[in-house]
Amino acid sequence: MEPTFSFACSKGSDHQLINLSGTIDAQAEPHFEELQKQISSASVIFDFSKVGRVNSMGIALLLRCFKRLGSERSINVQLQGLSQMNTMLFKMSGLFLLAKEVR
């Protein structure tokens, strides 16, 4: 059994850091609704270093979340800690059009 999805928010000097962990799938949807409510900074970094699998529903959740944050709320969305598999998946799905990877 894969670990369920969870997140933790912390504030940096000029951004908010969102540490994601577990599997991003349909079960993560209520968490993403709550996560978006907790973002209050003009810039946010999502850390994927503890994320395992991201399925097609997970991609849909990420696309929706990043679109709402970037387009509707004008929040700068950045990603870090991506695995090689997630990097490839995000490129193929167009997720990098909504969020940029930082190293």
Q: What CATH number is associated with residue 27? A: 3.30.750.24
Residue 96 covered by a domain: yes
For residue 1, pLDDT beyond 80: no
When the pLDDT of each residue in the chain is averaged and rounded to a whole number, the result is 94
Which has the closest alpha carbon to 43: 77, 69, 71, 18?
Answer: 77
Residue 92 covered by a domain: yes
Q: What is the pLDDT of residue 23?
A: 96
The tens digit of pLDDT for each residue in 61-76 reads 999 999 999 999 999 9
pTM for the whole structure: 0.94
User: Could you tell me what percent of the chain has a pLDDT over 70?
Assistant: 98
Provide the number of structural domains found in the chain: 1
The tens digit of pLDDT for each residue in 15-41 reads 999 999 999 999 999 999 999 999 999
Domain of residue 89 covers 6-101
Residue 32 covered by a domain: yes
Residue 1 covered by a domain: no
